[in-house]
């Protein structure tokens, strides 16, 4: 075998070993995430918090709104592969109980697209405490009036039992409160179910 062919064979072997190493890391991290975050990466959809949910709530002005949310998996397979192949040292720290998502608040013919921020949960047990904040996609672009802002409650299988607190925004976008007006203390109780 000539030296050029030997060199090509050695390079091909090194590349194959590196590829197999990264594949092993990828599958090890996938298995670790399934163990650490069963609410996001489990095998059965009914046991996952990740996904689409829908429910109705009433605001302090007694207007009914539909809230649709989608809770995202903490990391996609593509993002995991990129992290594994670009890592220089150690596994990056991720809060195993944090989540993000997107929400749609629908009132009659109008729909506002919002982002779910600061999503968090207790460890995944049969009843799990969760909470998240709702904010506009474009910072400080709040609709005028009462806006659902802080949500907390319990997740049990196919149902989210939630309580929502509101913030009032003026046309200038600033927040407003009036302690003499009971609407500003109103907390909405509502249920969201998994969208099929």
What pLDDT is attached to residue 45?
60
What pLDDT is attached to residue 193?
93
Mean pLDDT lowest among 96-110, 112-126, 149-163: 112-126
pLDDT category at 10 given cuts 50, 70, 90 is: confident
Of residues 137 and 8, more confidently modeled: 8
Report pLDDT digits (tens) over 13-22: 888 888 888 8
Q: Which two tokens stand for residue 111?
A: 């729909």
What pLDDT is attached to residue 117?
79
The domain locations on the chain are: 50-74+93-194
pLDDT category at 173 given cuts 50, 70, 90 is: confident
How far apart are alpha carbons 136 and 103 in whole angstroms? 9
Report pLDDT digits (tens) over 124-149: 566 688 888 888 876 666 778 888 88
Q: CATH classification of 50-74+93-194 is 2.40.128, yes or no?
A: yes
Which string of b and e fits 87-110 if b means at least 16 CB within 10 Å?
A: eeeeeeeeebbebebbbebeeeee
What pLDDT is attached to residue 187?
93
| pLDDT at 44 exceeding the cut of 60 | yes
Q: Which two tokens stand for residue 40?
A: 């996001």
Which residue(s) pair with 165 in the sheet?
150, 187
Mean pLDDT lowest among 1-15, 38-52, 77-91, 145-159: 77-91
| pLDDT at 42 exceeding the cut of 90 | no
User: What sign does the CA torsion over 12, 14, 17, 22 have?
Assistant: negative
Q: What is the full DSSP assignment across 12-54?
A: HHHHHHHHHHHHHHHHHHHHHHHHH-HHHH-S-GGG-S-EEEE
84: how many CB neighbours lie within 10 A of its CB? 19
Tell the residue number behind the tokens 């929400």, with chain if given.
103
Q: Which of 96, 186, 111 is nearest to 150 (CA)?
A: 186
Which residue(s) pair with 153 in the sheet?
130, 162
Report pLDDT digits (tens) over 55-113: 999 999 999 999 999 988 877 777 777 777 776 555 555 677 888 888 888 887 677 77
The distance in angstroms from the start CA to the end CA of the chain is 62
What mean pLDDT, rounded, does the chain reach?
82
CB 97 within 8 A of CB 120: yes
């Amino acid at each position: 075998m000539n030296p050029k062919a030997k060199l090509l064979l050695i390079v091909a072997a090194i590349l194959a070993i590196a590829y197999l190493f990264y594949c092993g890391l990828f599958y090890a991290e996938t298995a670790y995430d399934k163990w650490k975050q069963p609410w996001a990466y489990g095998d059965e959809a009914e046991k996952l918090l990740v996904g689409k949910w829908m429910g109705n709530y009433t605001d302090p002005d007694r207007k009914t709104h539909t809230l649709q949310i989608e809770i995202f998996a903490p990391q996609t397979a593509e993002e995991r592969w990129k992290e594994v192949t670009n890592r220089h040292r150690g596994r990056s720290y991720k809060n195993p109980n944090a989540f993000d998502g997107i929400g749609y608040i629908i009132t009659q013919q109008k729909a506002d697209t919002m982002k779910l921020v600061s999503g968090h949960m207790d460890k995944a047990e049969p009843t799990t405490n969760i909470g998240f904040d709702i904010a506009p996609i474009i910072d400080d672009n709040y609709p005028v009036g009462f806006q659902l802002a802080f949500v907390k409650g319990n997740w049990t299988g196919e149902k989210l039992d939630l309580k929502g607190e509101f913030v009032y925004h003026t046309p200038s976008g600033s927040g407003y409160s009036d302690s003499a007006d009971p609407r500003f203390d109103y907390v909405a109780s509502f249920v969201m179910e998994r969208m099929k």
